[in-house]
Amino acid sequence: MFGRRSRDPKPKLPDLDPDVTSHWNRGQPPNPPPPVEEPRLNIVPTWLLSSSAEERRRGRRRLLISCSLGLILGPIFAALVIYLIHLINLPLLSNPLGERMGFGAQDEEEIYYTDEISEQQVRCLGAYLQRTGYFNELSAKSVRLSKKGEVYVVGFALLWGSWKKEDVLEDFRTLRIGISREVFDGSPVQVDLCARQPDSKGNPMPAMVVLHADEQ
């Protein structure tokens, strides 16, 4: 009895998962946990997944109403947008001076004319201005031709302040009489001496001096 040593009892190990210990006994690692599937986005309408026939009918009815409203209101909305765009861009798309006809080799001398003026009258006025030397192809010049009742109105765009010079006024008085006789068969003609710059409201060629039809 004296030669034996007393041994301490072995500590008791905690119980392990039987599935894990069975893999260890066979020398294989335990199976990894199954992957967790991410939730999928359900893009199918709930009324299609519903088992209730009544809910499916209501869902189809709502879809039909939405499509019908889209077909009816879509063209109306598109037409309204096009009309507004046209209304906004109308001043930009149309020239407030009217149609344009160019003269000279470089087409830099021009006459703008309104609807009541014929193209033949514009050509006659341009030819007369070429004969008198006003259209001389030396610089760009702008003329506006319109009609006010029975009076033809011819506007000339001048450099700023030119209409204040007496010799310029006298030249245009003579030109007014010649236009009346040679272009419009003696019809009354009014001459507007205009500025090249628009006025405060954006109107082009504002008249600064008016030579009336009955002025001598």
User: What pLDDT digit, counting tens, does each position of 90-133 carry?
Assistant: 444 457 889 999 998 888 999 999 999 999 999 999 999 999 99
> By percentage, how much of the chain surpasses pLDDT 70?
67
The domain limits of the chain are: 46-93, 99-211
Q: Which two tokens stand for residue 71?
A: 């077909």
Average pLDDT of 3-31?
A: 55
Which residue is associated with the tokens 């709502």? 62
- Asked whether the whole model's pTM tops 0.75, one would answer no
Pick among 3.30.70, 1.10.3470, 3.30.300, 3.30.2450: CATH of 99-211: 3.30.300
Beta bridge partners of 157: 194
pLDDT in tens, 28-83: 555 666 666 666 655 555 655 555 666 667 767 777 777 777 778 777 877 776 66
Residues sharing a CB contact under 8 Å with residue 95, sequence separation 6 or more, in sequence order: 112
**In the sheet where 189-195 sits, what is the strand order?**
99-103, 109-113, 141-148, 151-158, 189-195, 207-211
Per-residue CA distances from 136 to 106, 108, 122, 133, 180 (Å)? 11, 10, 17, 5, 21
pLDDT at 18: 60
Residues sharing a CB contact under 8 Å with residue 139, sequence separation 6 or more, in sequence order: 108
pLDDT at 92: 42
pLDDT at 69: 72
pLDDT at 26: 54
Per-residue CA distances from 48 to 9, 40, 45, 56, 133 (Å)? 69, 17, 6, 6, 84
